[in-house]
Structure 1
Amino acid sequence: MDIPQSRFYRVNATTLRLVGQWPYQERKSQRIQQILFHISVMTVLLMLIIPTGNMEMKKGIKLIEVWGDMDVMIECLTPMGVQVNSCVKSLNCIVNRDKMKKLLEQIKTDWSNVKREDEIKILTAHSEQGRKLSIIYIASMYATVAIYLTIPLTPIILDVIAPLNESRPREYLYRTEYFVDPDDYYFPIMLHTYIGTIITVLVVAAVDAMFATYVQHVCGILAIIGYRFENLIKIRDTRENPSEHDDQCYKELVRCIDQHYQAAEYVMLVEKSYSMAFMIQTMVSMVLLSMSAVQLLMKFGEREEMIRMIQFNLAQFFHIFYNSWPGQKLLDQSVSLRDSVYSSEWYSLSRRSKVLLKFIMLRTLKPLKLTAGKLYDLSMENFGAVIRASASYFTVFASLR
């Protein structure tokens, strides 16, 4: 299977290439893209952090000088959190490039090993679901950033379609400090922050979609193994102790155990590739969601700003959900496999098959799972815990205003 040309992975390959994170890219061009990305994002971060010496500049963030002014700090830290998460995702892909390439190679191997028509249909269904989820997630993130970027341009658009006697006050995407008069350099400042924001969201969408695709694939493999166990009875030998050569159930069990071992190794590789990054992202996202909720409270009554912050909060909520959902899907599929193993008609198998079946029974007792830095499992239960923690932080931040 050619991964980039396959309809199931074409969207992932295209979006990762755009941000220089596709493992099969030529290394030189990939490094250039990665350097340009980090320059664009880090310069926006610097403009958010650097304190201004001009206290009269309304759009200077003055993070250090105003430390303790919760409202101003939140306006600075909210976009910073998104930039930090994007950098974490990008750096994680760079550090774990070889691991992610191994994951894609394993996907190729799995597709080449699946020969039976009914099993191909199972893997195709899971891969198609992964493709659709990638498209939905990427499209949602792009739509969100489009709204977020359009609202600050509203005064300029209104000046064109419904002009007043004087120009409307110009809005900025972020509070930043460029050490120049922001009114004189309005468009260069906006262009820089817009480019940085678009690239940031491109990375977030591409990396998250690929992670979900990796997990969706292994769920398909586990579904195939479960299907094989459910249909063992159809190929069993009626003799109690057939020869090893004639015992088709035994051969099928050997294949299932081998494939389950490969699936477990695959999940372990995904865990090693993403675990630490998810720990950092979860902590940042938890605080970011609570701060953006406080910012929504700050903007109460300002219709356009409220719209912008509502969709920003929804995007953060969706981002945390999308990172947790694949982990839950993997847990569910592992439990489903365990149920298939234990509900199989094991009592009608040959003696050697019964002995072999015990090994897979023991293995499936502990479901495959993904974690965030080994601190907690990626699941919908812990997604709820993160949201509850964000709500607690929200009350703390709101009380400090």
Structure 2
Amino acid sequence: MLIAYLKHICGMFSIASFRIKKAMTIDMQQDVNEEKMIITYKGIICAIDIHRKATEFSQVFIKSFEGSFFCLIAASMVCLTSTLVQIITYNSTEQFVLRLIHISVLYMYMFLSNYTAQDITDHNEYVFATIYNVEWYMAPLHIQKMTLFLLQKGTKAFHLILGGIFVASMESAAMSSLARFSVRFFYFMQKRAK
């Protein structure tokens, strides 16, 4: 259910980028009249509103599950650490394989959650890439100023922070979890060999 809500947020960002693209496709070079300006304004305002709702929804959603995410992250780290310790003291191949399956499931879960959060970040960045790529410089001055404000807002990074402690993205997942796992694993294996 959490993934479905997060995919809904991605969809909202996609709708915002589509509306911006659609609003700016009106040919502004020929016959700029009041009607075209109003249609463009309405399209941009609607896109901004959808983008704002998507960011607010994602922040409220993450805040409402902050305690649960914190407990989940802590439990995952405790399970991972205890499983790594159990790997050192395995008695049979079956126990070793079972522990490796536990570790694989934990990493699959962490990968899936970070991938979904990265997907939201990418969709948000795509909104601003769309604003940059449309021919906003061909529009009248009032619309150019509006798009410049949108482009300026896109310079701030948008990330989901899980549990109040972990920035969910593929980069942070790779840097923190996988690197620590490999260092710990080789350290324990080296200690065991001595």
TM-score (norm 1): 0.43
Partner of 2:151: 361
Displacement of 1:399 in angstroms is 5.3
Structure label with greater radius of gyration: 1
Partner-residue secondary structure (3-state), 2:25 = helix
Change (3 A) 1:225 1:356: same
Distance 1:222 1:271, change over 3 A: same
Query: 1:376 offset after TM fit, Å?
Result: 3.1
Partner secondary structure for residue 235 of structure 1: coil
In structure 1, C-alpha distance between the alignment counterparts of 2:178 and 2:5, rounded to whole Å: 25
Instruction: Map 1:263-302 to 2 at 5 A.
Output: 263-299=54-90, 302=92
- Map 1:102-251; keep pairs closer than 5 Å: 210-238=1-29, 242-243=33-34, 245-247=35-37, 248-251=39-42
CA distance in 1, matches of 2:111, 2:104: 10
Aligned-partner residue type, residue 264 of structure 1:
T
Q: Residue 130 of structure 2 aligns to which amino acid in structure 1?
A: S
Give a deviation string over 1:330-384, Cα, whole Å, max 9, x none.
Answer: 1111122211111110011122212222232222222432112333310111112
1:65 matched residue in structure 2: none
TM-superposed CA distance for 1:223, in Å, is: 1.4
Distance 1:322 1:255, change over 3 A: same
Structure 2 equivalent of residue 41 of structure 1 = none
Q: Tell me the amino acid that sits aligned with residue 251 of structure 1.
A: K
Q: Gaps spanning 5+ residues in structure 1: where?
A: 1-209
Cα shift at 1:311: 1.4
Residue 318, structure 1, aligned to residue 108, structure 2: yes
- Aligned counterparts of 1:336 and 1:312: Cα–Cα separation in 2: 36
- Is the contact made by 2:128 and 2:154 (CA closer than 8 Å) also made in structure 1? yes
What secondary structure sits across from 1:234 in the alignment? coil
Alignment-mate amino acid for residue 76 of structure 2: S
Q: Counterpart amino acid of 1:326?
A: T
Of 162, 173, 183 in structure 2, the residue corresponding to residue 372 of structure 1 is: 162
Greater helix share, structure number: 2
Aligned pair 1:349/2:139, yes or no? yes
- TM-superposition CA deviations, 1:199-246 (whole Å, max 9, x none): xxxxxxxxxxx2221111111111122223334443244457632x44
Contact kept in structure 2, 1:325 and 1:380, CA below 8 Å: yes
Question: Which of 75, 79, 94 is the equivalent residue of 1:304?
Answer: 94
1:1-12 alignment, distance < 5 Å:
none
Q: What is residue 20 of structure 1 aligned with on the other side? A: none
Work out the CA distance in 2 between the residues paired with 1:330 and 1:228: 18
Kindly, what percent of the aligned residue pairs are identical?
Answer: 21
Question: Which runs of 5 or more residues in structure 2 are unaligned?
Answer: none
Decide whether the 8 Å contact of 1:232 with 1:344 is kept in 2. no
- What is the DSSP-based 3-state SS (H/G/I as helix, E as strand, rest coil) of the residue aligned with 2:43? helix
Counterpart-to-counterpart distance in 2, 1:250 and 1:238: 16
Q: What is the alpha-carbon root mean square deviation over aligned residues?
A: 2.6
Q: What TM-score do the two structures reach when normalised by structure 2?
A: 0.83
Deviations 1:18-59 (Å, cap 9, x if unpaired)?
xxxxxxxxxxxxxxxxxxxxxxxxxxxxxxxxxxxxxxxxxx
Pick closer, same or farther for the CA change 1:275–1:389 going to 2, 3 Å. farther
Output the amino acid matched with 1:336: Y
Q: Deviations over 1:146-172 (max 9, x none)?
A: xxxxxxxxxxxxxxxxxxxxxxxxxxx
**What aligned pairs does 1:15-164 form with structure 2 within 5 A after superposition?**
none
The 8 Å contact of residues 80 and 103 in structure 2, kept in 1 or not, is answered as yes
Q: Pick from 332, 336, 340: which aligns with 2:126?
A: 336
